[in-house]
Structure 1
Amino acid sequence: MSKLLPKKTGLIFFPAFDWAISPTHPEREERLLYTRDQIFEEGIMDLPQIEEYSPSLALIHDLARTHFCVPRVEDQITEAHLIAAGAAILLADKIVQGEIKNGFALVRPPGHHAMRVVHGNRGFCNINNEAIMVEYLRARHKIKRIAIIDTDVHHGDGTQDIFWHDPDVLFISFHQDGRTLYPGTGFTYELGGPRAYARTINIPLPPGTTDDSLLYVVDNLILPVLADFKPDFIVNSAGQDNHYTDPLGSMRITAQGYAKLTEKLRPDLAVLEGGYAIETALPYVNMSIILALAGLDYSGVKEPDYLPGRFKETPEHKDQVRRIVQELRQRWETRDNAPIEKRDVNGNYYQRKKHIFYDTDYIEENQLEKLRLCDCCPGYLIIDTKANLGFNRPATALCISVPAAACPKCRAEAGDVFQQSKKTSQYRNVYLQDKHSDTFYGYDCEKSREWLTEGR
């Protein structure tokens, strides 16, 4: 009897030649072209442990299942966005079906700054590739508990926003301290909504953090939390701008540090996010991640100017990182005892106000978010959003999201809110995202026109 061959690591490259913010923008196609050239030159694609796939397109409904794109999904994306999200979905399918053991979607445009409501591009992102893939897995494959580990130098504020109230998605982001870098969020007190407390964990690291402190955080915080949470699927939102040569960050992580991080996390799927040192970092970091995913020796992957022990942290720096880890371990261990602040409750709803700035498109958005506090289910979410698009063009919408685990009463209530809101002149658009039935309803109040998308 022949022995079964070990499963492979699946890769997809999609440089998105036809999508760019500007010809000289840091987020451009060369981010992947140098990586692809080096990987081919090193013979990585010829290894029996590696399998390359061509990307496929996500459906409009895959995006509507996750986002409220105002006024419609088609107005906020290009074909490149559908391919980037579709690549993550395709690899996730292959993993769940047992065809490959893990995968890496090396794609652009990136996505982790795209929030639940989308009025335009912020942080180079229109739609959130990882979140779309996660919601696809839950709808199509009924996978319940998922962990997302965001390793970008910038806080993954979009992914945090999408899963803020979701107790079955653990979102962990380590990043450069938001007081020193865009988007200015991701502090230790940002811990998730009242029904998903400590399912959001932010680890703001001081500038200058090296491999040593990074791996300390992994060993003493991330891995123990993952062991407690017991996810069915682990996603690495694989930003690489923590590298010591990145022009947008101030961290000191090496390709070897990224490889060891990947080896320890053992993600099912990695999806490329940021990373803008096109020649000095990305070819080496991506190659080290691929080798670590495939279980191959990565010890020889080193940057040309790499010197062991080149970067040192002060004792004060190390102490700060350890205090952050200790604080967050305590938050995690007491996660089921978090009280709801009375000032945030209005009747049967927990609510919060948010101001969101779209730095790429210069859009100002204000939201009032209300979570129905239900004793039987996670409750449905209502978002009242108004964005200033300039030239006196406000975009107003009411967005209603019903989780898959919603009880019949909450589903009925949410449906009533949708129907009643269609009759008012307060909003330009009203949406109902019903994850229980995997359907999405949109209504243009000015044109009295409704549309529907449904799952696969």
Structure 2
Amino acid sequence: MSSHSCCVYLSDKLATYGFGDKHPFGPQRHHVFEQALYHQTLDQKVDVLPAVQTDRQTLELFHTKDYISKVIEQSKFGVGYLDSGDTPAFIGMYEAALYVAGSVLDAIDQLMNKHYKKAFIPIAGLHHARRHIAAGFCVINDCGVAIETLFNKYHLQRVAYIDIDAHHGDGVFYSFEDDPRLIFVDLHEDGQFLYPGTGAISEIGKGKAAGTKLNIPMPLQADDELFFTMWPQVEKFIEKHQPEFILLQCGADSIAGDPITHLAYSEQAHIHAVKRLATLAEKYCS
């Protein structure tokens, strides 16, 4: 194991996943994170690793063959949309997606082989794409690919996916709604007010998976006080199911000031989530 317990993936290859400088999901996301990491000398506390590319076969652990063929074809010319109008094609998007998913999967390999205890990928968590179609700026669903990898390559039976992005992780939820192996917890802005409009508290999983999913819709302008009030439900749910691996989608759009969403957390909410989940991972995922 490295002298550091955490690795972070940084590369211009990751920054290629985006829809242009004027789009909410542009290359500046990666660059701002990279500048902040070095400015605060956090690179001295983690190992910085390069992006890793995966292959088509691995994407198809989650996505359909027909959909990946569509992505490859539209990636050549960057024309049209991959869904009903939210997710435009861009030249090179297939290769960019391979680096996003590949970095996530390399991080899983690093953790499963005990090289690190934690990993972070700043351009990832594309939680809206379904198995057969893009959605919400998500060409692929690296979260879904990661979950399928943990099931199929590492044969895990209890994987926890925690999502504190302002948007409900619908692509993950509905893809594994009837799979009891995925322990799903999502705190998100109430779907009455924000895309994708899903994630009601009544959605708890189906069939044998009923009771393995927890959705916590948050009201407009929910702040740290409410976050910390609701958070114990997350820990209680995780403790109940004792996962073998924990994935955190920590989209920063739930922090106050985001131009699209309407939550009002501070960074302290995210810090608390990360610290507590790391503690639970030490307890159950060793």
Q: How many residues matched?
A: 260
Instruction: Label 1:61 to 1:268 Cα distance change in 2 as closer, same or farther (>3 A).
Output: farther
Task: Give me the whole-angstrom Cα distance separating, in 1, the residues matched to 2:132 and 2:156.
Answer: 24
Q: Unaligned stretches of 5+ in structure 2?
A: 75-92, 282-286
Change (3 A) 1:174 1:63: same
Stretch of structure 1 that moved more, 76-85 or 64-73: 64-73
Q: Deviations over 1:287-316 (max 9, x none)?
A: xxxxxxxxxxxxxxxxxxxxxxxxxxxxxx
- Most deviating of 32-41 and 148-157: 32-41
Is 1:68 aligned with 2:64?
Answer: yes
1:57 to 2:53 alignment: yes
Q: Does 1:103 align with 2:128?
A: no
The structure 1 residue matched to 2:10, chosen from 10, 13, 27, is: 13
1:211 corresponds in structure 2 to 224
* 3-state SS, counterpart of residue 241 of structure 1: helix
1:151 pairs with 2:167: no
Shift of 1:248: 1.0
Structure 1 residues 13, 201: CA separation in 2 closer, same or farther (over 3 Å shift)?
A: same
CA distance in 2, matches of 1:169, 1:179: 25
**What is the Cα deviation at residue 243 of structure 1?**
0.7
Residue 30 of structure 2 is matched in structure 1 by: 32
Could you tell me which residue of structure 1 aligns to residue 154 of structure 2?
141
1:20 Cα deviation from its structure 2 partner: 3.1
Tell me how far 1:267 sits from its aligned partner: 7.7
Report how far residue 156 of structure 1 moved: 0.5
Q: 1:51 to 1:17 in 2, by over 3 A?
A: closer
Other structure's SS at 1:252 match: coil
Aligned runs of 1:436-451 on 2, under 5 Å?
Answer: none
Instruction: Give the conservation status (yes or no) of the 8 Å contact 2:250–2:270.
Output: no
- Structure 1 segment 228-239 matched on structure 2, within 5 A: 228-239=240-251
CA contact (8 A) 1:113 1:125 kept: yes
1:79 aligns with 2:95: yes
| Gap change, CA 1:5 and 1:87, over 3 Å in 2 | closer
**2:82 aligned residue:** none
Q: Partner of 1:114 in structure 2?
A: 129
Candidates 196, 206, 211, aligned match of 1:198 = 211
Distance, in Å, in 2 between the alignment partners of 1:87 and 1:101 is 16
Structure showing greater radius of gyration is: 1
- Displacement after TM superposition at 1:136 (Å): 1.2
Does the 8 A contact of 1:19 with 1:80 survive in 2? yes
Work out which of the residue numbers 238, 263, 268 in structure 2 matches 1:251: 263
TM-score by length of 1: 0.54
Q: Percent identity?
A: 25
Question: Deviations along 1:118-162, whole A, 9 cap, x unmatched?
Answer: 2xx320001111110121122222222100001100010000011
Q: Which residue in 2 is equivalent to 1:180?
A: 193
- Decide which structure has greater strand share: 1
- Paired residue for 1:126? 139
Q: Is the 8 A contact 2:183 2:212 kept in 1?
A: yes
C-alpha spacing 1:197/1:75, structure 2 compared with 1 (3 Å): farther
Task: Say if 1:143 and 1:75 are closer, same or farther in 2 by CA, change over 3 A.
Answer: farther
Ranges in structure 1 where 5+ consecutive residues have no aligned partner: 270-456
| Contact 2:33/2:122, CA 8 A, preserved across alignment | no
RMSD: 2.0
Per the TM alignment, residue 216 of structure 1 is displaced from its structure 2 partner at its CA by 1.8
In 2: Cα distance, 1:10 partner to 1:29 partner: 21
Shift of 1:75: 3.9
**Which residue number in structure 2 is paired with residue 278 of structure 1?**
none
Q: 1:224 aligns with which of 229, 236, 242?
A: 236
How much has 1:69 moved relative to structure 2? 4.7
Corresponding residue of 2:21: 23
**Alpha-carbon shift at residue 17 of structure 1 (Å):** 4.0
Distance 2:5 2:216 in 1: 32
Deviation at 1:72, TM superposition (A): 3.9
Comparing 186-195 with 151-160, greater Cα deviation is found at 186-195
1:71 to partner: Cα distance:
4.7
Q: Note if contact 2:203-2:213 (Cα within 8 Å) is conserved in structure 1.
A: yes
SS at match of 1:179: coil
> Aligned-pair distance for 1:6?
5.6
Q: Does the residue aligned with 1:174 lie in a helix, a strand or coil?
A: strand
Equivalent-residue separation in structure 2 for 1:268 and 1:162 (angstroms): 25
Q: CA deviation at 1:7?
A: 4.8
Residue correspondence of structure 1 range 295-374 to structure 2 within 5 A: none
Q: Distance in 1 between matches of 2:2 and 2:66?
A: 47
2:253 pairs with 1:241: yes
Does structure 2 conserve the Cα–Cα contact (< 8 Å) formed by 1:10 and 1:100?
yes
